[in-house]
Chain A
């Protein structure tokens, strides 16, 4: 009886410890070395971190991460907006909900390709489309000033779908009696949304924030597929820069890469801690 839980846990913990928990500490360790991944590693203390501070590519990546984080959060109001639009009971609405949701199911690689072609100045639909409204041709992914926004817009597409489905589920569970009571009191429109509906949607909003922040900091696939970090490295984020430093033609600088990963990890840790703290309070409450 005492032993039982540990027997059930053993295989899961073993796998998780070897492939997830230990590597975190190993990465911290590797970040103190100069290492090409094959030969001998040389201990260099905090030099990798000192070099980061003078590395313009690091600042570009960090700044792009901030943009991702801030703009990605737009997925939450956008998802709520679409959910409100679709929360009806007309015929065929279920199919509409599924079709609005399904970008989330497509791999980010394919979403990236689809948007790269959509933006493409020679074959993409974007330029003819904005041409209708009198805007000139643009090359979103070729311009260092617009490239990151272009990729974020592509990333928002599935993320909005995800937030939408969270809110649709939340709206389904909104207490109809409260809504009717508020209606009798004359509440409607924005006031109703803000004071009656949104408070009941709080669990959905919380999950939407968690998955969106994590998704923003994990952005890698689309950058790799759409631009490979370019032009001139202007669309890199930390996750991509780390990969580039450690595993690409620019050389196998594992130690430097690990240092970048540690910085990304520490940023993420703020959110993880926040999430765990909230969960801890809830568990206590039960």
Chain B
């Protein structure tokens, strides 16, 4: 292991290391801790300038409740769910198929189609913005959740295909060859042989795409505009103008908006990191 494990070093080094860990963490998360502290303070603390003291009264329950009762936040959160979940399902479904086709079959043009997906996945959003907005308007889907979902599915298919194809390439080919010799049809090979083996990849991708889409802001402001369809990333700006300068409320609102992907991460950590670091090890 590198660096040398602290257990193999002097007691002094070990103690210093264990003391440094929490200190470094607090420093690292300082801006966030500040916002967390704000979110449980009562309004009075801000008007009296008690910014950094312990909250004079614990107002956490009140502030967080107000986020749900006095604002459109529940609606935005719901919109985010209705945008994110269908996108995850759509993009994963499409890329299971494209990944299977590109990973299993050898045919002319295979690598070029693969490269098209990979390259498209890296383009700046702005080069797509005007035409995609135009297309969405023409389809009558501007300012609808469906309009956002369709675009997200299409764009995420690029990254998902890269992921799935590489995953399928690493599966043992003998399984597929054996099934072919038995005369199993291609669609049944896909469904009964390959798909069950792809479970870890599907789990990892789902968690990743959930986070990416939940956190999307650019397409939310380009393709939607009102409370009817905007996700929480875009809704938080409206929320903040409603509670202008009420920092305890804005802090609580931001934490609520950020929470779902954070929970997803802590619950599905193994899959999340497996997905994110694919290719980081050879």
Contacts and interface: CB of A to CB of B under 8 A. Distances in A.
A89 B120 CA distance: 40
Given A9-B101, A109-B233, A217-B124, A165 B277 contact: yes
Nearest to B160: A12
Interface of B: 1-7, 14, 17-18, 21, 24-25, 28-32, 34-35, 38, 46, 51-52, 94-95, 97-98, 100-102, 104-105, 107, 110-111, 113, 115-120, 122-135, 150-151, 153-155, 157-158, 161, 186-187, 190, 211, 214-215, 217-218, 221-222, 233, 236-237, 240, 247, 250-251, 254-255, 257-258, 261-262, 264-266, 269, 273, 276-277, 279-282
A114 B29 CA distance: 11
B126 A19 contact: no
Given A8-B98, A113-B240, A123-B247, A19 B2 contact: no
A99 B97 contact: no
Between B32, B95, B237, the greatest number of chain A beta carbons within 10 A of the residue's beta carbon is seen for: B32
Nearest to A25: B131
B255 to A, nearest CB: 8
Contact of A85 (B24, B30, B94): B24
Interface string A163-188: 00110011111101001000000001
A19 B151 contact: yes
A113 B254 contact: yes
Given A12-B95, A243-B129, A203 B258 contact: no
Contacts of B5: 88-89
Contact of B129 (A98, A100, A114, A242): A242
Interface stretch (A43-51, A69-77, A133-141, A264-272): A264-272
Interface residues of A, number: 101
Contact of A20 (B24, B128, B233): B128
A102 B3 contact: no
Interface of A: 1-2, 4-6, 8-9, 11-13, 15-16, 18-24, 26-27, 30, 37, 84-85, 87-90, 93, 96, 98-103, 105-110, 113-115, 117-118, 123-125, 128, 157, 162, 165-166, 169-174, 176, 179, 188, 192-193, 196-197, 203-204, 207, 214, 217-218, 220-221, 224-225, 238-239, 242-243, 246-247, 254, 257-258, 260-262, 264-265, 268, 271-272, 275-276, 279-280, 283
Q: Which of A20, A37, A218, A225: most chain B CB closer than 10 A?
A: A20
A197 to B, nearest CB: 5
Contacts of A171: 1-2
A247 to B, nearest CB: 7
Contact of B123 (A20, A107, A176, A220): A20
17 contacts: A5-B110, A16-B116, A18-B154, A19-B135, A27-B128, A100-B25, A105-B262, A107-B217, A118-B30, A123-B46, A162-B276, A203-B281, A203-B282, A242-B129, A247-B222, A268-B123, A271-B122
